[in-house]
Structure 1
Amino acid sequence: MTEVPGTHTPDGLWAFSLAVYARPNVAPACLLLQDQLGLDVNLLLFCLYAGSRGRVLSVDECRRVDDAVRPWREHTVQPLRAVRRWLKTADMASEPGTAALRRRVQAIELDAERLQQAVIEAVLPLPPGRASAAVSAGNLHNYLASAGCHADEPQLQALARLWLGAHLDRSAADFVQPGTHHLPHPSAA
C-alpha cells in the first residue's frame, strides 16, 4: 500500500499525531475511547504511527510501552486533564480569567503529552517503513488486547473513525472484518 500524503512525516510521532488528530471526526473518536474504555490517546495514535511505518506492534510491545508511560500519564497528564475539564464546568467558569487559565492548563497538558510521546518513541523507536492500513488496524487490535478491552458497536465505530483519520484512502468497511463487528486480527494483516 502506498503512503497516504500528510500522515508519514520526518518529524516523528508528535507531528503525525497533530496531523491525524486535526482531521474530521478523529478528536471526538479519541475522546470517546479515552473516556469509555480508559485508552490512552497517545498510544492509539502510536498504533497508527507504527502502521504508517509498516511496523506491527505485538500485544507485549503495546503493554511494554503502556507500562513505561503509565506513571507519567497517571501523575501528570490525567490530573492536568481533570483540572482543565473542571475549569470548563466549574461554578467559576464564567468568571473573568478562568478561560485564560484553562487555556494555559491546556497548553501545559499538551506539553505533558508531547513528553509522553517522546518516552514512547524512546521505548520503541520505529524506523521508516512502508505504510499499511492493515498493520494499523492490527496494532489497534493488539493495543485493545493488551489493555483487556472489548469494544462495543459505538466504540468500534470510534476506532474506525480514528483509523480513517490516518488512512484517508480507505472506507470504514475496510476497518472491520467482513461479517463481524471485530477488528481484523493482526495475523490477517
Structure 2
Amino acid sequence: MQTRLLDYQNQLGKNVNLCLLLYYLDSLNLAINQTQLNKLEQSISEFDKLALKPLRATRAYLKANQAEITDYAAIRKALLGAELKLEKQQQIILIDEVNSMNLTPCATPNNSDKYLS
C-alpha cells in the first residue's frame, strides 16, 4: 500500500493523507459527494503547497546532492521528522473538515476511486 500511495503522490500529484482518509471512509461504508471531496481538497491545498511540497522538494534536492552536503544523514533525519509532523497537522485539518460533513451511508462507496480518477 505504501508504494501505491507514494506512486499516487509522485506520479499523479495526489495527496497521501487524503487518500488514506478516503480509503478509511470506504472501509466504514460512508460516501462523500464531489462537493465534499472538493472541500476536503481545498482545506489542505494551501498547507500542501506552502509547507509540505517545499519540504519534499528540499529533501529531493539534498538527496540528489548528498555527496556535497556535510552531515547529510543528520539533515535528512531532521527533515523527515519535520515532514512527519507536518503530515500529522494535515491529517488534523482533514479530520476537522470531514467531521463537519454529513456523510452518506453506502454499501459500496467509491470515495478513493472518485479522487484518483
Q: TM-score, normalised by structure 2?
A: 0.85
Greater than 6 Å deviation, 4+ residue runs: none
Contact 1:87 1:93 in 2 (8 A): no
Contact 1:48 1:139 in 2 (8 A): yes
**CA-CA distance at 1:39 after TM superposition:** 0.6
Q: Which has the higher contact order (CA 8 A, sep 6+)?
A: 2
Contact 2:40 2:97 in 1 (8 A): yes
Post-superposition CA distance 1:137-178 (Å, at most 9, x none) = x0112213xxxxx4xxxxxxxxxxxxxxxxxxxxxxxxxxxx
Segments of 5+ residues of structure 1 without an aligned counterpart are: 1-25, 145-149, 151-189
How has the CA–CA distance of structure 1 residues 94 and 29 changed in structure 2, closer, same or farther, with 3 Å as cutoff?
farther
Structure 2 CA distance for aligned equivalents of residues 93 and 44 of structure 1? 34
Q: TM-score, normalised by structure 1?
A: 0.55
Percent of matched pairs sharing the same residue: 27
Structure 1 CA distance for aligned equivalents of residues 68 and 20 of structure 2? 33
CA RMSD of aligned residues (A): 2.1
Matched, 1:68 2:40: no
Matched, 1:142 2:114: yes
1:87 to 53, 62, 66: 62
Contact 1:63 1:143 in 2 (8 A): no
Post-superposition CA distance 1:12-68 (Å, at most 9, x none) = xxxxxxxxxxxxxx1211111111111111111111111222211212111101001
Structure 1 CA distance for aligned equivalents of residues 30 and 60 of structure 2? 35
Q: Which has the higher helix share?
A: 2
Post-superposition CA distance 1:103-161 (Å, at most 9, x none) = 1101101110110010001011189xx9x6x42xx0112213xxxxx4xxxxxxxxxxx
- Aligned residue for 2:30, secondary structure, equals coil
**Aligned match of 2:29:** 54
1:99 to 53, 58, 73: 73
**CA-CA distance at 1:96 after TM superposition:** 4.5
**Aligned match of 2:16:** 41
Segments of 5+ residues of structure 2 without an aligned counterpart are: none
Q: How many residues align?
A: 113
Matched, 1:117 2:95: no
